[in-house]
Structure 1
Amino acid sequence: MAILRAIIGFTSASLIVISVILMLLFLYLSRVCQLASVVNVLENIYGFNALKKGKDLANEKKLVGMGIAFVLYRFLVGLIVVYLLFVEYGYEVFIQALIWRVMMGILCGVIFLVLLVFIVTQTIVYLVCKSYHWEAIDKVGLLTF
């Protein structure tokens, strides 16, 4: 964005519009790739065929999937910022500050484990999209995992 602004000379308003468009494109592509990864595991479809199946599944529930991805990515970015501010670049002059950093590091680690829900969310979105398209869900295949 900085290079485009230096070369072409966009205004601030047009940069905001372009940033929003790029963010929406990123959310859509991440949703398709996440659905493709779930298709890869659950249906044994690989490569571009998995991406095509993920795109087909994401078409009808685009906004819902992008909204879920947006919330989860914001949570992840917030967790990374908290970790960087309080643990990585924390102030360690006093022993209390060191204890604070250790406690915040443990808390961030526990919260990061909660982000494994992200993987479960991908599977749930996959199953919802599949049921929306009236496709059969292989329940026996789900039990093996």
Structure 2
Amino acid sequence: MDREQEEMQFLGLFGIYKEAYKVIFTWRKIFSQITVSLILPLSFIFLAHMEISNLLYRKIIHTEIQLYETRAGTSKSDKLSQVISTEKAYFWLFQAAYFTFYLALSLLSTAAVVYTIACIYSGKEVSFKKVLSVVPKVWKRLMVTFICSFVTFFVYNVFAFLIVVVWWHSIGFTSVGMPVFWVIFIFYLVGSFYLTIIWHLASVVSVLEESCGFPAMMKSQALIKGKLVVASVIVITLNGSLYLIRRVFQHLVVHGWRLAMVSRISYGILCFLLLFKLILFGLVIQTVIYFVCKSYHHENIDKSALSDHLEVYLGEYVPLKSKDVQLEQFDI
């Protein structure tokens, strides 16, 4: 980054987009290597999961229809029941395998991009080999933060479910109940977006600072104050783009049986290209937002200390220490 950190606090929505694009374009070689090794497989797994899940699910439905049309108690019925059990077991094993590989590649991609941008920001020479050597160690910290974020989302959804249960048993679908329900639903969406922003920023904090897990989320919550509106618009835009790509892929590829095979393949390739570019752009943006928030709160990271800590490879990964780089105040 050639921009002074004091200036980054003034970046708005389009300024952050421009800065992210500039970083990717200037360092396109290293980001291309990260994309080929991590983000491309991640994008392929994401799209392939929808296609394979649909095929497995359709197979289960077809077998269940055959079972429904077969007289109960016959050998054919027993055999079909066993087939359904086997197909469902394959389906859930596939889901588990997908979640495992997707999570691993997602965290590795995040670690690689955040570490690379930190090296760029600190003026340290960065190579793809160096990124690969550090990423597995940073990945452990990201996993802790992901688990804590997952627990937070789970508790949040349980709490929201309990509120809906209370609404159902108190006022329900009445003239007063429906407006109340929509208010609850809007607050739920706002809370979900807020937690998503906190989680993304906490991932960057986990790589660049000594905090991970719940402390990283608390740090993220403090950093996002003052830039919440801009971050919210960015998250909504990126998630909206992801949703659009997913819907197009489902409609034209997964369920596009009426289209010619060449057309389905073409649409699949287009969605794949758009998806991996979106993932890379999103990861770079969330790191840029971190530095923007740091600058907004007048928290200057000592670039030399950042560089020293990024170069530590003795044993376990050593994150940034608060006393060295955490919050060096500067005046505007």
C-alpha displacement at 1:74, in angstroms?
0.7
Determine the structure 1 residue equivalent to 2:238: 72
Determine the structure 1 residue equivalent to 2:103: none
1:76-106: CA deviation from partner (whole Å, max 9, x where unpaired):
11111111000111124xxx61111000000
Q: How many residues align?
A: 140
Alpha carbons of 1:97 and 1:15: their partners in 2 closer, same or farther (altered >3 Å)? farther
C-alpha displacement at 1:138, in angstroms?
4.6
Alpha carbons of 1:97 and 1:63: their partners in 2 closer, same or farther (altered >3 Å)? same
2:268 alignment partner, one of 101, 105, 120: 105
Determine the structure 1 residue equivalent to 2:211: 45
Determine the structure 2 residue equivalent to 1:22: 188
- Does residue 36 of the first structure (1) align with residue 199 of the second (2)? no
1:43-70: CA deviation from partner (whole Å, max 9, x where unpaired):
2421222111101001221111111111
Whole-Å Cα distance in 1 between the matches of residues 182 and 241 of structure 2? Answer: 22
- Alignment identity in percent? 35
1:122 alignment partner, one of 286, 290, 302: 286
Q: After the TM superposition, which of the residue ranges 38-47 and 21-30 deviates more from structure 2?
A: 38-47
Unaligned 5+ runs, structure 1: none
Whole-Å Cα distance in 1 between the matches of residues 194 and 244 of structure 2? Answer: 21
C-alpha displacement at 1:7, in angstroms?
4.3
**Residue 91 of structure 1: SS of its match in structure 2?**
coil
**Residue 108 of structure 1: SS of its match in structure 2?**
helix
TM-score by length of 2: 0.39
Which of 1 and 2 has greater Rg? 2
Determine the structure 2 residue equivalent to 1:134: 298
C-alpha displacement at 1:36, in angstroms?
0.5
Whole-Å Cα distance in 1 between the matches of residues 195 and 268 of structure 2? Answer: 32
Q: After the TM superposition, which of the residue ranges 98-107 and 10-19 deviates more from structure 2?
A: 10-19
Whole-Å Cα distance in 1 between the matches of residues 198 and 270 of structure 2? Answer: 31
Whole-Å Cα distance in 2 between the matches of residues 14 and 118 of structure 1? Answer: 35
1:25-55: CA deviation from partner (whole Å, max 9, x where unpaired):
1111111111110011122421222111101
Whole-Å Cα distance in 2 between the matches of residues 139 and 68 of structure 1? Answer: 27
**Residue 60 of structure 1: SS of its match in structure 2?**
coil
C-alpha displacement at 1:139, in angstroms?
4.0
TM-score by length of 1: 0.84
**Residue 270 of structure 2: SS of its match in structure 1?**
helix
Whole-Å Cα distance in 1 between the matches of residues 185 and 266 of structure 2? Answer: 36
Whole-Å Cα distance in 2 between the matches of residues 112 and 12 of structure 1? Answer: 37
Alpha carbons of 1:87 and 1:7: their partners in 2 closer, same or farther (altered >3 Å)? farther
> What amino acid maps onto 1:61 in structure 2?
K
Alpha carbons of 1:111 and 1:138: their partners in 2 closer, same or farther (altered >3 Å)? farther
C-alpha displacement at 1:20, in angstroms?
1.6
Whole-Å Cα distance in 2 between the matches of residues 138 and 130 of structure 1? Answer: 12
Determine the structure 2 residue equivalent to 1:85: 251
- Does residue 63 of the first structure (1) align with residue 229 of the second (2)? yes
- RMSD in angstroms over aligned alpha carbons? 2.3
